[in-house]
Amino acid sequence: MGAFCSVIKFENLQELKRLCHWGPIIALGVIAICSTMAMIDSVLWYWPLHTTGGSVNFIMLINWTVMILYNYFNAMFVGPGFVPLGWKPENSQDSMYLQYCKVCQAYKAPRSHHCRKCNRCVMKMDHHCPWINNCCGYQNHASFTLFLLLAPLGCIHAAFIFVMTMYTQLYNRLSFGWNTVKIDMSAARRDPLPIVPFGLAAFAATLFALGLALGTTIAVGMLFFIQMKIILRNKTSIESWIEEKAKDRIQYYQLDEVFVFPYDMGSKWKNFTQVFTWSGVPEGDGLEWPVREDCHPYSLTIEQLKQKADKRVRSVRYKVTEDYSGSCCPLNKGIKTIFTIPCTEEPRIQLRKGEFILATRGLRYWLYGDKILDDSFAEGVSRIRGWFPRKCVEKCPCEAETDPAPEGEKKNR
């Protein structure tokens, strides 16, 4: 109930502007089309309300829609939670372990990062999601993940209704001839006569909604899998990248140390309950976090400071070996590249063979960095920043040991 009230009682009406963005418009449009068409198809042509099964089916469709929209708006309007402006640790000596944000005029609390889109330091920031036009972080991580779970489940139910509607309505209208299959749509006017005939327009709308439902199931289902993977490790997407660079820094300098991620409680269930609770309110206050017994309370922030001071770790030089058009869905770069597209508003950059890139972070099949328009690396040189596929570049010889390779590849080195 408290979470529900927090959705209704906005801090100010400016929050409603989040809806005026291409992400929420597309997301809500897909939800509206799939839900509306599923209800129409079910009631008019597949499973009428006067039957017990039809009534149960209709109630389930409404239930899916309500739960999906509830978690969607909860993730959007409750938000991730922001570090208070001017915040500083209670113990002034702890500030030496923290980074200072000049924009927020505050220290960055452990696990927090500054979001350029929100223009605030976000508590336990995972990423800025264009589909909710907000960050995913401490307060809304559970709602966002539940939305990623419920949306595919609801779409699977809707897709089943679309398929069964087309099958039952067209089964007796198929006319098979030599090398042809014809559909007699006039059969919709025969007895028994439905309230609204299943005509060509209804068939086209149902087929379109089926495509949206299947596409949403695949795309959002993969995002849910990725989120659950990091939640069970009590990490965020940003922290996974920090850990990757930490291991690479140790390997490069051949240090006699092992980086241990401090927030992994050692149990998947304990990690799970850090995000999902029966009350709906996440554990802690978003500023202080429990750590493993063998770790310093500021292990991760200390590592961030080391990486910030080490320019070699902050960026890795690559040379472009394949052209890339800058498209969001590069069909010619492999199936794995297509299905692991970064879910972010950050741009993609066009690459030409022979150019040089400074990569600062990345995923298994994508990297993010600066394309240097001049072949020098001096400060002040104009750069273009964005995402690009890993397979389009290769490490420069001098950087051969510095690239934060994916976990699976590291084990095989």
* Angle formed by the axes of helices 22-41 and 52-73, nearest 10°: 170
Backbone angles phi, psi at 358, to 5 degrees: -105, 105
Q: Which residues on neighbouring strands pair with residue 367, listed in sequence order?
A: 362, 388
**In the numeric block, which tokens belong to residue 408?**
């699976």
The token pair at 286 is 């978003």
| Locus of tokens 């307060």 | 139
What CA–CA distance (Å, rounded) separates 239 from 43? Answer: 48
Question: What φ, ψ does residue 150 adopt, rounded to 5°?
Answer: -70, -35
Which pairing describes strands 134-136 and 174-177: parallel, antiparallel, or unpaired? unpaired
Tell me if the bond preceding 152 is cis, omega within 30° of 0: no
Letter string b/e over residues 283-303, b meaning 16 or more CB atoms within 10 A of that residue's CB:
eeebbebebeeeeeebbbbeb
Strand partners, 317: 358
Sequence letter at residue 350:
Q
Integer angstrom CA distances of residue 152 from 65, 68, 97, 217, 281: 11, 10, 42, 4, 24
- The DSSP result for 295-352, as a single string, is S-TTHHHHHHHHHHH-HHHH-EEEEE-S-B---SS-GGG-HHHHHT---SSSPB--B-
Residues taking part in catalysis: 129
